[in-house]
């Protein structure tokens, strides 16, 4: 294989913090042969409460950092950044840029029985109406109930994913959605896959859960296949994790999110 073969290059993934590592985990499960460069903007997290202009500026800087590492494609593993910056990134950079919203929407609508959808996400994601718009465009008449759930990210970052206080908060958030009779709940934040076990327990089988991580990984696989960018080499893939702020807490969270050996976390300067 020639050294300049772009399929050999790593995949770039970024998030406002460590939540996007749920996407990295799903990508590695599906494409264990791919090398990945991950950037978590832990110095500036959260993006969910920032203005659209700031989110776009940060997202461009994050992507520039990954491009500097020679990535062949960029996965925007943050719903907030996808909601506000995806078209700009796709127009600015010369590699495929993949977001987390479209794959979740496609997965949701792949079930023809889906009639009433609930969406949970950060204030920024819900305010952007990106999910609501993408769903309504594809299936007019679909009932969509979106709810900003800003308390969930701090709970998850604290590792309180099975804590009674979290369950109390979740019940408050879920009640109005359940009253509307939702049949599907979209987890519109890359932190939320960590809530799958508790949500499954609380909701049982009557509500289908769609998360951003596994759906985005499946979509990325399709894009890499189409663009002939899948890495076929037999050498060991590399996972490089960069954070813009290094702290013990960030390392502990990285471990929790990735659930695997990941080597050393490095400091990124944007």
Query: Which of 190, 215, 244, 254 is in the footprint of ligand DGL by CB under 6 A?
Result: 190
The catalytic position among 45, 189, 195, 224 is 189
Stretch that binds ligand DGL, among 23-31, 45-53, 58-66, 255-263 (CB under 6 A): 45-53
* Secondary structure (3-state) at 242: strand
Q: Of the two residues 33 and 129, which places its CB atom closer to ligand DGL in the complex? A: 129
- Name the residue number minimizing CB distance to ligand DGL: 48
Q: Does 62 bind ligand DGL (CB under 6 A)?
A: no
Q: Of the two residues 12 and 17, which places its CB atom closer to ligand DGL in the complex? A: 17
Stretch that binds ligand DGL, among 4-12, 185-193, 227-235, 262-270 (CB under 6 A): 185-193
Q: Does 189 bind ligand DGL (CB under 6 A)?
A: yes
Where would I find the H helices in the chain?
Answer: 21-30, 52-67, 79-92, 101-109, 123-128, 130-138, 152-157, 164-179, 196-203, 212-226, 248-258
Q: Does 19 bind ligand DGL (CB under 6 A)?
A: yes
Is 114 labeled as catalytic in the residue annotation?
no
Q: Does 25 bind ligand DGL (CB under 6 A)?
A: no
On the CB side of 197, how many CA atoms lie within 13 Å of its CA? 6
Stretch that binds ligand DGL, among 77-85, 109-117, 231-239, 257-265 (CB under 6 A): 77-85
C-beta separation of 161 from 198 below 8 A: yes
Stretch that binds ligand DGL, among 42-50, 63-71, 129-137, 233-241 (CB under 6 A): 42-50
Two tokens at 29? 């499960």
H or E stretch including 121? Answer: strand 116-121
For the packed helices 79-92 and 52-67, what is the interaxial angle rounded to 10 degrees?
60
User: Which residue in the block uniquely carries the two structure tokens 């663009």?
Assistant: 227
Q: Does 99 bind ligand DGL (CB under 6 A)?
A: no
Q: Of the two residues 9 and 134, which places its CB atom closer to ligand DGL in the complex? A: 134
117 bridge partner residues = 144, 184
Two tokens at 58? 């940060």
Window 236-265: residues binding ligand DGL (CB under 6 A): none
For the packed helices 164-179 and 196-203, what is the interaxial angle rounded to 10 degrees?
50
Residue ranges in contact with ligand DGL by CB under 6 A: 15-17, 19, 45-48, 78-80, 122, 125, 153, 189-191
Active site amino acids: 78, 189
């Amino acid at each position: 294989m020639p050294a300049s073969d772009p399929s050999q290059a790593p995949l770039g993934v970024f998030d406002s913090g460590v939540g996007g590592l749920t996407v990295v985990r799903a990508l590695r499960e599906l494409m264990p042969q791919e090398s990945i460069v991950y950037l978590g903007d832990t110095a500036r997290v959260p993006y969910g409460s920032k203005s659209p202009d700031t989110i776009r500026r940060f997202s461009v800087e994050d992507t520039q950092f990954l491009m500097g590492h020679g990535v062949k494609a960029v996965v925007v593993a943050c719903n907030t950044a996808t909601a506000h910056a995806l078209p700009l990134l796709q127009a600015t950079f010369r590699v495929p840029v993949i977001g987390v919203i479209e794959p979740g929407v496609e997965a949701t609508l792949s079930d023809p029985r889906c009639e009433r959808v609930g969406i949970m996400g950060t204030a920024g994601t819900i305010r952007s109406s990106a999910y609501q718009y993408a769903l309504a465009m594809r299936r007019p008449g679909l009932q969509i109930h979106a709810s900003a759930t800003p308390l969930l990210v701090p709970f998850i970052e604290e590792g309180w994913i099975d804590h009674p206080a979290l369950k109390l908060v979740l019940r408050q958030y879920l009640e109005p959605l359940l009253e509307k009779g939702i049949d599907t709940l979209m987890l519109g934040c890359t932190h939320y896959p960590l809530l799958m076990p508790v949500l499954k327990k609380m909701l049982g089988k009557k509500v289908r859960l769609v998360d951003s991580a596994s759906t985005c990984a499946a979509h990325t696989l399709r894009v890499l296949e189409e663009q002939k960018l899948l890495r076929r080499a037999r050498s060991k893939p590399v996972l490089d994790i960069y954070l813009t702020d290094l702290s013990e807490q960030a390392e502990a969270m990285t471990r929790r999110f990735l659930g695997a050996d990941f080597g050393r976390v490095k400091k990124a300067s944007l």
